[in-house]
Every structure is written in structure tokens, then in C-alpha cells.
Amino acid sequence: MKKVFLGLVIVLMITVFSLAGCKAEEAVEEAVETIEEETVEEEVEEAVELKDIKIGVSMLIRGGGFPGELEKGLIDSAKDAEERGYKVELIITDGNFNAIEQLDQVNTFINQEADAIIVWPCSPVGAVEAIDNATEAGIPVVTIDTAAEGGDIESHISTDNLKAGRLAAQWVNDNYQDKVAKVGLIEFSTNESCISRIEGFVMEVDEKNFTNIEIVSRLAADMNEADAMNVAETILQANPDLDVIYCSGDPQAIGALAAVENAGMQDQVAVGGVDANEENLDIMKEGRAIKFEIAQKPYEIGYQGITALIDVIDGKTVEKMVYIDPILVTLDNVDTFKE
């Protein structure tokens, strides 16, 4: 149709300008060139057909904060896959910390003939069966944030959680040079990533021989404010001269903050957490007891997860383990970080 229209336009222009001389001929030539270029561009656009693929994502949990930012990364990366010739149907489900639910979700993805699957393990052990089921069906799997304790995955993408703990230990060392800081640690003992954040702290103290740091307590709490508050109260009661409580996640840090403030120890005890959620950073800016946060990059984790799977589908080799560096956030850089 475009070509027919082009012919009619050329004939008309030649007829109208046939008596106008060279300038008219030049105008006709320029017009013809413009129309031909537009025709080529249109034909190229029409020739590009996106390949439909389906990617299933089983999340540990959905919601705001870290999970919300991670999900944004997944969605944006799936949209950007169009630039590589793929139209991605993204199916995101909530594992709700339940390994059995997650297994059912992955099996559903398999039955739906997903082209690839992302798993954010609810359980490092429990996720193995889900991964095995997918790979046996010929479906590539990428894990994010929490590593599974087995299974044939294409890649694992997460924060360097050991480094998160090391950054926390460095903050304590730098801020307690004139005394021995007594530190209580609160971990989430059922999550590999959270365990690593505490292990990293202990490793840094031992390896760097931080003699000005004494770990006086290491207790586990669920990843919620209420349980963490109870555990923090136990630590405070046993250690009235405590200086720091470092928590493996931000909900725990909010609970520890409540315990510290309820005990009237906000001018004595510094609290630190991991994730740098908006609420925690606002508390830091208010000058309350949360003095440091270790920020992850959940958006990047999600984005790279989809990108890795597109690479696999394209037949490219991907890195088996991808660790993304965390960032130490304090009152000195919180405004810059939030921007």
C-alpha cells in the first residue's frame, strides 16, 4: 500500500512541477528520498516480531520495602527484554515463607510450560526439590537473594551478605575506638542470607582482631518487630552496659529500637540493621538510636535475575554466582543515599 501511494505521489509531483525547472526536480527527488526512507523504516519495524516467553517467579514474600524494590527490578527487566526481541509474560507468586507453597508454585509454572523460573527460596533445603523438578522438565532456574543448598541452577544472584556483616563490624570499630564496645547480635536463624550477615560480623572482628569489640550475646528472633523486641529486652537485661545491637534485618532493628527506648537507653545503645528501609532511615534522620544501616540493592537483584535468564535463553554463558556489594548508610550519607 505504501509503495502504491509513493508512486501516485511521485506522478502527481512530476505533473505539477514539470514546468518549474531544476528546483522542482530537486524538490521531487528530496521528497522521493524521504518517502522511501520512511517506507524502509516501516518495513523493518513490521519485520521485527517479538518472541513470546513465560517466566515464573516464586518470591519468598511480596510487599513493600526490600521485596517491593526487588519486584520492580523484575518487572522493569522483563519490559526491557523487548529490546532483545522477547515479550515476557511474568508470573509472580508469593511463597509467604512457606517451602511447601513454593514447591506447589514451581510445579504450577512447570505445568504452565514456563520457559524459565526464578526462585527466591523460602527454605534453602526445601527449595531443592522445586529446582530439581524444574530442571528435570528442561526449564532453566535462577535463584535470588537466598541460596538453595542444592539443585542445578544457572545462576545465583544476591547481596554479598558476609560483606554486610563486615561493614557493620567496621562501623562499630570506627565509632568505639576509645573503649571496648559490648555488642549484642540478633539473627534470623532460618534464613541463610540473614545468618551470613551475622557471620560476616563475627568473621570481621576475628580476622581484623578488633580488640575493641566484645560480642556479649548472639540470639535468634523471627523477622518481625515483636519477637525482636522481646529478644532485645533479654539482651539488655543481661547486659546493662551494652553499647550496640546489630540485627540481621530491618524489622528486627525496629523491635530492638523499641526495647532500647522502652528501657530509656537510647543515649547509650546504638542499633543497626540491614536493608535500609524508608522507616529506618527516617528514624536515623530523627537522631534516634538507629545509627547505621546496611543497604542492599534489591532492584538490581531482581533486574539481573531476569537478565540472566534471557541470557540463558539466548544461549549465553552466565556467571554461576553473582554477589552485589551492600552499602553502609549513616547520618553522614543518608540524604545522598535516599536521593
Q: What is the pLDDT of residues 205-247, one digit of tens each?
A: 999 999 999 999 999 999 999 999 999 999 999 999 999 999 9
pLDDT higher at 15 or 96: 96
95 and 220, same domain (yes or no): no
- pLDDT > 70 fraction of the chain, expressed in percent and rounded: 86
**What's residue 36's pLDDT?**
54
Residue 206 within any structural domain of the chain: yes
**What's residue 26's pLDDT?**
58
202 and 282, same domain (yes or no): yes
Is 7's pLDDT higher than 70? no
257 and 305, same domain (yes or no): no
Confidence of residue 34 (pLDDT cuts 50, 70, 90): low
| Structural domain count, the chain | 3
Report the chain's mean pLDDT, rounded to a whole number: 90
> CATH number of the domain that 206 lies in?
3.40.50.2300
Q: What is the pLDDT of residues 132-144, one digit of tens each?
A: 999 999 999 999 9
pLDDT (average), residues 99-117:
98
316 and 246, same domain (yes or no): no
292 and 244, same domain (yes or no): yes
Residue 248 within any structural domain of the chain: yes
197 and 292, same domain (yes or no): yes
Is 113's pLDDT higher than 50? yes
**What's residue 218's pLDDT?**
98
267 and 318, same domain (yes or no): no
Q: What is the pLDDT of residues 43-93, one digit of tens each?
A: 444 446 999 999 999 999 999 888 999 999 999 999 999 999 999 999 999
Confidence of residue 30 (pLDDT cuts 50, 70, 90): low
217 and 97, same domain (yes or no): no
pLDDT (average), residues 180-185:
98
Confidence of residue 191 (pLDDT cuts 50, 70, 90): confident
71 and 139, same domain (yes or no): yes
Name, in order, each residue with C-beta under 8 angstroms of 241's C-beta and a sequence gap of 6 or more.
182
Confidence of residue 32 (pLDDT cuts 50, 70, 90): very low
Is 339's pLDDT higher than 70? no
Q: What is the pLDDT of residues 294-324, one digit of tens each?
A: 999 999 999 999 999 999 999 999 999 999 9
132 and 108, same domain (yes or no): yes
pLDDT (average), residues 11-28:
47
251 and 309, same domain (yes or no): no
176 and 247, same domain (yes or no): yes
pLDDT (average), residues 184-192:
93
**What is the domain extent for residue 258?**
161-296
